[in-house]
Amino acid sequence: MAIPGLYTLVSETVTTAVTAQAQTAIDNLDGMTRATFEATFSGTGGSTAVALIQSRMGSAGAWREIASIDFAAAGSKSCTVVSTAATPAAFATLSANSVLNWLGTELRAVITSTGTWASGALAVRVHVT
């Protein structure tokens, strides 16, 4: 993949509850130092939606949570920035709307939603540099 570049991590219709639905990873992002995520969620009904952004070092590495983008209502937008930093002392499950400044060589989103949505749509794009 080209760095810098703009990529789509999620473009999904969300009408029913889903649990930890992993999206296709974007790979070959060696040398990435910053990732800016733009997330939008639209629709009516339902309760919550979460786009959990994960990264890993190469195809054999473990997926690590680096950003949690949480929506309590449809019609929301979020912009989140993650940059490289020293390796964290520990990787852990992230709380709502939080970030861990660590980037590997691959990115993916895992989506979870609750409730039933009418015309629900979740999109996450990332600009990497």
| Residue 46 forms part of a structural domain | yes
Rounded CA gap, 45 and 47, in Å?
A: 7
pLDDT classification of 42: cutoffs 50, 70, 90? confident
Q: What is the pLDDT of residues 52-109, one digit of tens each?
A: 999 999 888 999 999 999 987 667 788 888 888 667 767 888 999 899 889 999 999 9
Q: Residue 22: what residue type?
A: A
Task: Give CA–CA dist 87/110, Å, rounded.
Answer: 22
Question: Does the residue 89 lie in any domain?
Answer: no
pLDDT tens sequence across 5-34: 999 999 999 889 999 999 999 999 999 999
How far is the C-alpha of 5 from the C-alpha of 7, rounded, in Å?
A: 6
Average the pLDDT over 114-123 and give the result: 88
Q: What CATH number has the domain bearing residue 22?
A: 2.60.120.1110
Q: What's the pTM? A: 0.91
Does 123 fall in a domain?
yes
Query: Residue 106's domain spans which residues?
Result: 5-84+94-128
In total, how many domains does the chain have?
1
